Structure 1
Amino acid sequence: MSNVVVYGAGGTAGSRIVTEAADRGHRVTAAVRRPEALTWLPAGVKVVTGDATSAQSVRELATDADVIVVAIGGGERALWRDAAENLVTVLRDVPNPPRLIHVGGGATLLTPNDTPLLDEPDFPDEYRDAALGQADALALYRSSADGLTWTYLSPPPVEFHPGERTGRYRTGTEHPVVDEGGRSVLTYEDLAVAIVDEIENPRFENMRFTAAY
């Protein structure tokens, strides 16, 4: 059993990660900016006011945590890098720092030509800021997280949506995992399964991975 802190616990990904971890018997702290907005909670989950870009918040919650999951969203480009930079800076000064798992962007995955999907000429403008922010966060972990244990999980770049929890998925590292038809598909529910599987059985320490059916 692990002590798991989930930043962004009220969001589409975060809420499912909270549920999956709690259902498996982990001690879960749901960190959200507005706790009063959470109208659901699995039994035993603790809710706190928390912000991944706040040094004080991370320092307080890291003390008893085994794992910090970052599943934040909805901000401008700087949000993801600011959160990653804050987490790396603070956790370096925490004795026995928790492991860090960041739910990242699928647009940072690579094309068959080994260029980021977000650099493709037809990449939608409305998603560019978020994609660039997630790319900034990944680059920061890779260059500046020495001494910490981190993992960055990229979902499929397009076909990623709420749906059924099947408990199955396949993994890759830098390129999307595709099926026989060339599609890369995953539900948020099975993303949560992949996250909690990684908490319980680490396979991708200090690297990025991706998951799909």
Structure 2
Amino acid sequence: MAKIALFGAGGTIGQRVLDEALARGHRVTAVVRDPSRFDRKHPALTVITGDVLDPESVAAAATGQDVLVSAVGRPDGPASQALMAPSARALVAGLRKLGPAAPRLISVGGAGSLETAPGVKVWDAPGLPEWLLQIMHAHGDALEVFRGADDVRWTSLSPAATIEPGERTGNYRTGTERLVTAADGSSRISAEDYAVALVDEIEDPRHIGERFTVAH
């Protein structure tokens, strides 16, 4: 059983990470801006107030935990740019305050910076709307923050090109820097199976200090 602090527990991905972790018997602390608006109840769930953009709040939430998970995100470009890299910097700064006692960090990443061919990334595809490019690059900027933090035990998990609510199958394939695709060239994963992969990484860490990706 792991003790997990989770930022973004109310979001599409965060809710499923919360469900998966609780179903496996882990203890979860959901760190939210307004606990009065978070109505999930479970014997192994604690809800506290916190701000992922505040290093002091990050440090307080991470104290005594085994893993700190950040599942924060925004559905539009400007909000993503205002959140992703700044939150990554605050997460790193907060964990640094705890020194050797700091837990591992697992962050929900994006698919845009994955390669589709040598030197070619998902975000290089023609015709992508500007709002989507902004979200992709915001996640890419956050990843670069983590890559510069060699004193923090971090992992970033990028989804497939398409991630949406669906079925939990428990099956997925992994990669590192290359987009994982099916035989027909598609790249998809359900939010439920993404959460399975993330909690698998909590239980059996295989990607400390790197980004990995998952798809069906």
Q: What range describes the TM-score normalised by the shorter chain of this pair? A: over 0.9
1:47 equivalent in structure 2: 47
Equivalent position amino acid for 2:36 in 1: E
Residue 194 (structure 2) pairs with residue 191 (structure 1): yes
Report matched runs for 1:24-173 at 5 Å.
24-74=24-74, 75-95=79-99, 96-143=101-148, 145-157=149-161, 159-173=162-176
- SS in structure 2 opposite 1:126? helix
- SS in structure 2 opposite 1:102? strand
CA contact (8 A) 1:69 1:102 kept: yes
Which segments of 5 or more consecutive residues in structure 1 lack a partner in the other structure?
none
Compute the displacement of 1:15 (Å).
0.6
Equivalent position amino acid for 1:60 in 2: A
- SS in structure 2 opposite 1:94? helix
Partners of 1:171 and 1:62 in 2: CA distance = 28
Cα deviation code 1:111-132 (max 9, x no counterpart): 2132222233322212122211
**Number of residue pairs the alignment of both structures matches:** 211
- SS in structure 2 opposite 1:130? helix
Cα deviation code 1:147-186 (max 9, x no counterpart): 21110000012x2110111111010011111111111110
Equivalent position amino acid for 2:9 in 1: A
Equivalent position amino acid for 1:103 in 2: V
Cα deviation code 1:11-34 (max 9, x no counterpart): 000010011111111110111112
Equivalent position amino acid for 1:197 in 2: D
Equivalent position amino acid for 1:129 in 2: Q
Partners of 2:182 and 2:41 in 1: CA distance = 34
Identity, % of aligned positions: 45
CA contact (8 A) 2:57 2:94 kept: no
- SS in structure 1 opposite 2:80? coil
Residue 181 (structure 2) pairs with residue 178 (structure 1): yes
- SS in structure 1 opposite 2:47? strand
Q: CA RMSD in A?
A: 1.3
CA contact (8 A) 1:5 1:31 kept: yes
- SS in structure 1 opposite 2:116? coil
- SS in structure 1 opposite 2:106? strand
Compute the displacement of 1:208 (Å).
0.4
Equivalent position amino acid for 1:192 in 2: A
Change (3 A) 1:22 1:170: same
Cα deviation code 1:135-157 (max 9, x no counterpart): 111011112x1221110000012
Partners of 2:215 and 2:49 in 1: CA distance = 32
Residue 15 (structure 2) pairs with residue 11 (structure 1): no
State the TM-score, normalizing by the size of structure 2. Answer: 0.93
Partners of 2:41 and 2:167 in 1: CA distance = 19
Compute the displacement of 1:93 (Å).
2.2
